[in-house]
Structure formats: structure tokens, C-alpha cells
Structure 1
Amino acid sequence: MNKMKPFSAAALALTLAACDMAPKYVRPALPVPAGSPQGPAYPAGQGQAIVPADMAWKDFFVDPRLARVIETSLANNRDLRVALANVEQARAQYRVRRADIFPTVNASGSATYQDTPFSQVGTGRMDIYSASVGVSAWEIDLFGRVRNLSRAAQEQYFASVENRNAAQTALVAEVANAWLAMAADQERLRIARDLEKAFGQTLDLTKARFAKGIASELEVRQAQTSHDRARSDIAEATTLVAQDQNALNLLAGMTVAAEDLPAAMPDGDVTLSNLPADLPSTALLRRPDIMAAEHQLLAANANIGAARAAFFPNISLTAAFGTLSLGLSNLFKSGSDTWSVVPSASLPIFDFGRNKGNLRYARATYDAMGATYEKSVQTGFREVADALARRGTMTGQMEAQTSLRDAARVSYRLSEARFRAGVDPFLTTLDAQRTLYNAEQSLLATRLARAANMVELYRAMGGGLK
């Protein structure tokens, strides 16, 4: 019967060590509809059922120039480097917390040389040598305090990884939008230059007609006003192009190569257009910001366990095994062994409410992290819904704007011909020029919005990591 006592004690220790004061984690219910939003703005999509989180950004952004700029940004962007450094900090902190679970073994050695008057103590000179290996104040984690602190640090580390992933997703989208903005501004500059040339020709013709007494001074001034407006638009577009390039250089962390900069808005798509128009809301759980929020919630849950464990006894162990000898040559000989075991226990009796306060704080933090997680899910759903709504109406808007631009071109050609023939007054031609210019600008803005919408939809659905 006595032989079973060590095994019983070991079993009891293992049972106690398995105690966990943390509440059982249950993922909060998603506070959003289970399916994609429905309505007139959300027509059924024709794209393949590809989950954006599974699609590499190199496969989504098909323009090779844009892909090279994104790759440069991922390698050199300073904000992304900060996020990566935060990951390393969290990883190191987790390693520190995890090490607390295990005993720290130290080795020590000492030599004492002592000389006392022989007449007083009867010993004279005495040398003492010792060497030992031991464990100092190792907390035996019976109630899971250390393990929960380690688990919380681990979840914080996981959250930092997801925050870094979210930073990458945002960077990919930001670079793409900056590149597209520069392409649109280059196109805007080209349109302004073409219009300035056309207005200049009209101004020269109007001046010639005025010199012959055919046109009035009012018509000359109106032509001059339109020409000056086009010149102003050229200056503004030139400034925007320079600012767009500066923004790209900042995002890329270096000067972007000239061959990778857009000279105009690409005629074809710079992104794939086969993203799904409907995804279950559970697909949002793969967004890095939502995953980071859940890891923060798990960390808060583990901290509740650590706060609960503080109400129970804290048991620690200090132990050492070594040798002691009066002569260095005899230090490791038989008979010089020494050992000591010092278990200790402490139980909080009266702490003026410190432990209760810590527990309330941990629970309140968990509630806050739960609300943050739910808000992240709601925000993600709203971003996807907005992008889908924009996508659902973009095709019709593009068709209408293209038709409007084409009609404005024909109207301008006809009015200009009639003006040169002396059939229509100058004001008709001027209105046709302005209508064409506005139609060109509106179509360009729609093309930019369409491309930016695809980028936003890819980001909102969790793409951009691979």
C-alpha cells in the first residue's frame, strides 16, 4: 500500500496542475446577417466563386507595372516594418511568459577563505569550497495563473501577427489606389491639354472673325475665358501628378522607377473582375483585423483565469543539490554531497480588495474586447456591402457615361462645323466644348471609381496577404 503513495501523490499533482480558472471560451455570435446583402444594388454576380483571402495579390493585380510597385512597397514600406517589429516584440514577450511555466535551473560555485586567531576559536585558517545546481523560487502552477498569463501573451502575439497582416492588406490596397489615382491624373492632364489646344484654335478663329467684324467682342472674351480655364486645369493636373508620384514614393519606401509609373489610365482592367458577388458572413472571419480582434478577446479570457487564480494559494519551490568541501581537491569526492529543499506557500487573506479589483478589471476588459470584436465584424460587413453595392451599379454607370461622352463628341464636331460655316453662333460651339470636357472628366472619374471599387472589394474581403 505504501508503494502506491508516490504514484497517488504524482496523480494528485497532475490533477491540480490541470486546474484552469479561465472561463470556457465561446465565440460571440456574429451580429450581422448570415448571407450577403440583398436589394436592387446587389445583382447576382457573374464571377467565379473565389474567396479573396485565398487569392494572391499577384494574381489579382494583372498590370505588371502595378505589381512591381506593390512588391517594392512590401519590401521597403516603413509602416510595415513597424508592424513587423511589433510582432517580434510580442513574440519575445510570449517567450518570457512561457518560460515562467518551467523552473529556472542555475549553477553556482563559491570559495571562502577564513583565518581566525587559533587561541580564540581553535581552528586557525579554514577554506570552504562549494558547488551547486538548483531551482530558485519556482512557482508550481496548481491553479493555472502562470499558464493563463502565458496563454494571454501567446494570444497577444497572434494578434500582433494579424495586425501585421492587416497592415499589409491595407498597404497593398493603398498602393494600388495611389497608382490608379496617378493614372487618372495623367489622363486628366492629357484631356486638359487636348481641350486647351481646341479652345486655343477656337480663340484664334474667333479673334479672326472679330477682326473681320463677323464676331463680337463678347464672343472673344467667352473664348478667352474657356481657354484660360483649360490652362488652369493643366497646371492643377500637373500638380496632382507630382503629388501622386510623391505619395507612391512614400508608400514604396523609395523612388519608384519611371517605367513602373502610369502614363495614362489603362484601357484594360488592372485587376481581375471575377470576385464573387455573394459570400457568407462567416468568410469575414478570415479578415486579419477581425482575427486580431478575436485573439485580443482570447487574451482577455485568459487574463480572467490568471486573476481568478490569484485568490488561491501560491506554492513555490526552491531546491539545490551540490557539494561542499574544505579542500578544492575533495570537492567532488564521495561524501561531500549537500542538498536542500525549501517549499513555501502563501495564501492571500486580506489585500484591501486588490485581487477583486484585478478580477473585475479582467472581466471588464473581456467585455470591451467582445464589443470590439463584434464592431470589427460589423465594420467588415459594412465595407463589403458598400463595395458590392458600388460594384452592382458600376456597370450601368459606365455604360451611361460612355454613351454620354460619345454623344458629346458628335455634338461638338457638328457644332464646330456649323460654327465654321457660319450657321450656328459661337455660344453653341462653346457649350458643346464644355459639355464634351465635362463628359470626358466624368467618364474618367467613373473609370477610376470602378477600378478603385475592385481594389476595395478585394481588401474588404480579406485579400492581399499571399
Structure 2
Amino acid sequence: MRGMAADKVVKAFAVTAGIALSVMPGRAVWADNLTDAFIGAYNTSGLLEQNRALLRAADEDVAIALAALRPIINWSVNINQEYTKTRSGSVVTTTNPARFFSGLTLTQLLYDGGASVLGKQSAQETVLATRQSLIDIEQQVLFRATTAYLGVLLQEETVQIRQNNVDLSSEELRASNDRFEVGEVTRTDVALSEAQLASSRADLADARGDLSTAQAEYLNAVGKLPGRTAGQPSLPNLPRSQSDAIGLAQRNHPAILSAQHQVRAFDLIVRQQRAGLGPNVSLGANAGVRENFDDDDYQNDAGLSLNFNQPIYAGGRLAATVRRAMATRDSSRANLLNVQKDITQGVTDAYVRFETATASLTASTERVRASQVAFDGIREEATLGARTTLDVLNAQQDLLDAQLSEVLSRTERSLAAYQVLQAQGLLTAERLGLAVQIYDPTLYYNLVKKAPAQISKQSKDLDRVLKALRRD
């Protein structure tokens, strides 16, 4: 049964590794919507891989702390050369025996005031804190994917608007030339139209450059170049009020949960350091063979000892160690308060940003409608001689500004909505229901938490897991 369980663990890690390898830059894999961007970022993020490795290192700290409660067995070889000169009356005797010892030594902690147990508990709290930090990193990775996707979408729409403006400016230039030929306008009007067209072309070039920059960021964040985007993503379900969002964030955000576990870990370390000031009792044993190089004599040695130690004075190091642990604990408590305040502010900022973007989008949409009506009217009036070329160009610029403002507001609203999710601690692959192999932090921990020996079957299972993670 244990072998089957280990195989499942290895397969789970192997699948994760396989998915990550299957989506790499340069391959013809196209992300058309925000969900695809999420999946690409989750599967290819080096930042996630880095922090998963840090979590596995924290898992091993639990095994190391547990090992302090177990017997320590060493194979020992000792070669000893002595020199002794003895005088008894007028007789002087000199000896220089050479001895060889080979055998096993054992040390077992019997009592340390609970310091080792507290050390293990502290390591476990650190593991829980690191898991929450990993979730927070996951949120950062997915939000960066959101920003990258919406950035590409914004620049694509901007390029399209700029291109339409170039086409419109070309039409206006032709119309100005036609009216100039029949004497309806002056050369100045034609020059104004030429300047407008040149400016539109320059703005289009800038927009295409911004699109290339946005695509480069998308490649970095998602792991592949974007295809044609599918448009604005649907908005996620958001809380009914700002206070509801703050309440959920205070209970659920991984940064707060991580800080809480860190406080508990440092509390345990303070208790551990204080316990270390008390007595320490250990059992020692050894068994082996001792030989003399001077002759063929040997003897079988075996011994058993009970050792008691009580720290009394170490130059002030003992008290300083306790005070240092207390200061670190106090720092972690202050950090928890800061994190809670930062999360509250983050939710408030994101929620206000979403509401502002929503209102701005409503106003921008109405502005586009009104600007379009005004432009069409002024353009028609210009054909009848009631408006100048400058009036038409100004109306065209107003319409362009309104269209760009609408696109920007729509993108801002989508980005703010997902920022609200992140601020609440809800922007994770599991909560989003992404079609990915979710990384399970308990798989590796369950293999190492009992500190398996190197020669055990469980240790060999761990080697297979690590090989799958390294993707050798």
C-alpha cells in the first residue's frame, strides 16, 4: 500500500512537471482569453517553482527538528599514539603505545525541558506560514497574467482606433483637396488636414510600439506569445459592499494567515530558548574492538553512560539568545498588525478603483456617443460650407479622445475587479477553477514529516519525487 501511495505522489509531481514543460515560449500555443493566460502563467512561472522549493526546504526543517528526539548512531574509527615517561625511584620507564579502536557509538536525548519538541512545533508553524506565502505568490503570478492580458487587449484596441483615425484623416485630406480644387477652402485648410494625417500616423506608430511592449510582458508573465485576444473577460463575482470585502480579506488573505503562523512560530522559539537554559540529560553507549599495534592483543569494548548538563555561564550568550528570540517575536507581532492594515487598505483601494472605473466607463460611453453625433454633424455641415476644416479636425480629435478613454476605462474596470479578488485572497488557481494540476503542498510534507532514514523505502520514494521535480 505504501508503494502504491508513493507512486501516486510521484505521478502527481510528474504531471505538474509535464504540464510546465509542455507550455514553453516559441511553441505554437495561443492564449485567446484570460483563462488561458492564467493557465500559462500557473504552469510556467519560475517564481512559483522557486517558492515551492522553499516550501519543501521548510518541510525538511520539520524532519530535522524531529531527528533531535531520536537516537544518533555513528560508526567511529580512532587511531591513538601515546607517549608516557614514568620515573619510580631511580628507574625510568618510557612507553609509546599505539592503539586502534573501531565500533559504534550511540547518543539518545532523554530530557531537555521540552526544547526539542518546541523546536519541532515551531518548524511546523513555519511550514504553515510558508504555505500561505506560496498562495500569496500564486496570487501575484495570476494578477500579473491579468495585467499582461488586459495590457495586450488595451494596446490592440488602441492600435485599431489609431488605424481608424489614420483612415479618417486620409479621407479628410482627400476631401480638403477636392474642396480646394473647386475653391471652397484655402491652402491652409489642406495643410491642416496634412498635419492631422501626419500626427495620426505618428500616433499609430507609437501605439504599435506599445503593443509590442505589451506582448513582451505577456510572454514574460504567461510563458508564450499571445494570439488574437478574445476581448474583455467577464467580471468575477464581487462582494456586495466594501465592508464585506474587508471582512473576507481579514479572515482569508494568505498574507495575514502567514503572519499569524509566523507569530506562533516565534512564540514557540522563545519558549524553546528558555527551556534550553535548564538541565539536559542524555544516554551514551559504545561498543567496538580495541587493538594494540605493538602486539596481537585486542579487547572487545562496550560502555554505557548517563550524562547530565546544566548551563551556568556562557559569557552572556544564553540570556542574549533568549532576548533575541523575544525581540524577533515582538517584531513578528508588529508585522502582523502592519499586514492587517495593508490588506485593509489594499481592499479599499481596489474596491474604490473598481467603482471609479465603472463610473468612468459609463461617462466615457456617453461621451463616445455624443462625440460621434457631433462629428457626423460638423462633418456634414462642413460639406455645406457652414463649418471650417479646423472645426472638423477638432471634432475628429474629440471623438478619438473619447474612444481611447472608453477603452481605457473598460480595461481599468476589469483590472480593478480582479484586483479586488487578489486583495481578498481569492485569486488562486483552485478558486478560479483552472484546468491545471493544482500543486498540493501536503504531498511532499507527508513523505518527510517522519524524517525517514536514507536507507528506508520512504527515502527512496522521496528520491523519485525529487527526480520528477528536477525533470531530469
TM-score for the superposition, normalised by structure 2: 0.72
| Alpha-carbon distance, 1:165 to partner | 1.1
Give, in whole Å, the separation in 1 of the partners of 2:383 and 2:425. 57
Aligned mate of 1:281, from 242, 247, 253: 247
More displaced 10-residue stretch of structure 1: 228-237 or 187-196: 228-237
Structure 2 counterpart of 1:135: 106
Matched, 1:172 2:146: no
Structure 2 counterpart of 1:35: none
Give, in whole Å, the separation in 2 of the partners of 1:464 and 1:222. 50
| Alpha-carbon distance, 1:325 to partner | 11
The answer for unaligned runs of 5 or more in structure 2 is 1-30, 79-99, 292-298, 431-472
Give, in whole Å, the separation in 1 of the partners of 2:111 and 2:382. 93
Pairs within 5 Å for 1:357-368 = 357-368=320-331
More displaced 10-residue stretch of structure 1: 432-441 or 348-357: 348-357
Pairs within 5 Å for 1:252-267 = 252-253=222-223, 255-256=224-225, 258=227, 261-262=228-229, 265-266=231-232
Does the 8 Å contact 1:101/1:141 carry over to 2? no
Structure 2 counterpart of 1:152: 122
Give, in whole Å, the separation in 2 of the partners of 1:395 and 1:75. 32
Deviations 1:411-445 (A, max 9, x none): 11111111122221112111110110010011111
Structure 1 counterpart of 2:217: 247
Structure 2 counterpart of 1:212: 182
Structure 2 counterpart of 1:57: none
Structure 1 counterpart of 2:154: 184
The residue identity in structure 2 corresponding to 1:313 is P
Aligned mate of 2:46, from 75, 78, 88: 78
Does the 8 Å contact 1:69/1:256 carry over to 2? no
The residue identity in structure 1 corresponding to 2:377 is L
| Alpha-carbon distance, 1:390 to partner | 2.4
Give, in whole Å, the separation in 1 of the partners of 2:300 and 2:342. 67
SS across alignment from 1:140: strand
Structure 1 counterpart of 2:371: 408
Does the 8 Å contact 1:398/1:447 carry over to 2? yes
The residue identity in structure 2 corresponding to 1:67 is T
Does the 8 Å contact 1:317/1:341 carry over to 2? yes
The residue identity in structure 1 corresponding to 2:56 is E
Does the 8 Å contact 1:290/1:376 carry over to 2? yes
Q: Which runs of 4+ in 1 moved over 4 A?
A: 105-110, 128-132, 322-326, 336-339
Does the 8 Å contact 1:144/1:305 carry over to 2? no
Give, in whole Å, the separation in 1 of the partners of 2:372 and 2:353. 27
Structure 2 counterpart of 1:376: 339
Structure 1 counterpart of 2:131: 161
Structure 1 counterpart of 2:27: none
The residue identity in structure 1 corresponding to 2:45 is N
Structure 1 counterpart of 2:386: 423
Does the 8 Å contact 1:141/1:147 carry over to 2? no
Give, in whole Å, the separation in 2 of the partners of 1:392 and 1:154. 41
Aligned mate of 1:436, from 399, 408, 413: 399
The residue identity in structure 1 corresponding to 2:185 is A
SS across alignment from 2:218: helix
Q: Aligned in 2, Cα 1:455/1:312: closer, same or farther, shift over 3 Å?
A: same
Pairs within 5 Å for 1:65-104 = 65-104=33-72
Give, in whole Å, the separation in 1 of the partners of 2:254 and 2:192. 56
The answer for unaligned runs of 5 or more in structure 1 is 1-62, 111-127, 327-335
Give, in whole Å, the separation in 2 of the partners of 1:385 and 1:456. 11
| Alpha-carbon distance, 1:361 to partner | 0.9
Structure 2 counterpart of 1:6: none
Give, in whole Å, the separation in 2 of the partners of 1:273 and 1:232. 40
Q: Aligned in 2, Cα 1:274/1:166: closer, same or farther, shift over 3 Å?
A: closer
Structure 2 counterpart of 1:296: 262
SS across alignment from 2:319: helix
| Alpha-carbon distance, 1:367 to partner | 1.1
| Alpha-carbon distance, 1:106 to partner | 5.1
Structure 2 counterpart of 1:356: 319
SS across alignment from 1:290: helix
Q: Aligned in 2, Cα 1:431/1:349: closer, same or farther, shift over 3 Å?
A: same
Q: Aligned in 2, Cα 1:129/1:430: closer, same or farther, shift over 3 Å?
A: closer
Q: Aligned in 2, Cα 1:104/1:206: closer, same or farther, shift over 3 Å?
A: same
Give, in whole Å, the separation in 2 of the partners of 1:141 and 1:248. 57
| Alpha-carbon distance, 1:402 to partner | 0.8
Deviations 1:324-379 (A, max 9, x none): 799xxxxxxxxx99753211122222222111111111111111111111111111
SS across alignment from 2:172: helix
| Alpha-carbon distance, 1:170 to partner | 0.9
More displaced 10-residue stretch of structure 1: 184-193 or 303-312: 303-312
Does the 8 Å contact 2:249/2:343 carry over to 1? no
Q: Aligned in 2, Cα 1:129/1:427: closer, same or farther, shift over 3 Å?
A: closer
Give, in whole Å, the separation in 1 of the partners of 2:226 and 2:170. 35
Deviations 1:260-288 (A, max 9, x none): x416x43xx43324444324536423211
Structure 2 counterpart of 1:314: 280
User: Across the two proteins, how many residue pairs are aligned to each other?
Assistant: 372
SS across alignment from 1:271: coil
Task: Supply the RMSD in Å over aligned alpha carbons.
Answer: 2.8
SS across alignment from 1:424: coil
Give, in whole Å, the separation in 2 of the partners of 1:381 and 1:249. 32
| Alpha-carbon distance, 1:460 to partner | 0.6
TM-score for the superposition, normalised by structure 1: 0.73
Q: Aligned in 2, Cα 1:100/1:197: closer, same or farther, shift over 3 Å?
A: same
Q: Aligned in 2, Cα 1:214/1:366: closer, same or farther, shift over 3 Å?
A: same
More displaced 10-residue stretch of structure 1: 75-84 or 394-403: 394-403
| Alpha-carbon distance, 1:105 to partner | 4.2
Give, in whole Å, the separation in 2 of the partners of 1:129 and 1:342. 18
Percent of paired sites with the same residue: 21
Give, in whole Å, the separation in 2 of the partners of 1:437 and 1:221. 20
Does the 8 Å contact 2:125/2:261 carry over to 1? yes
Matched, 1:463 2:463: no
Q: Aligned in 2, Cα 1:129/1:395: closer, same or farther, shift over 3 Å?
A: closer
SS across alignment from 1:317: strand
| Alpha-carbon distance, 1:383 to partner | 0.8
Structure 1 counterpart of 2:235: 271
Give, in whole Å, the separation in 2 of the partners of 1:170 and 1:430. 44
Does the 8 Å contact 2:122/2:265 carry over to 1? yes
Does the 8 Å contact 1:188/1:444 carry over to 2? yes
The residue identity in structure 1 corresponding to 2:40 is T
The residue identity in structure 1 corresponding to 2:393 is L
Does the 8 Å contact 2:266/2:328 carry over to 1? yes
Q: Aligned in 2, Cα 1:402/1:257: closer, same or farther, shift over 3 Å?
A: closer
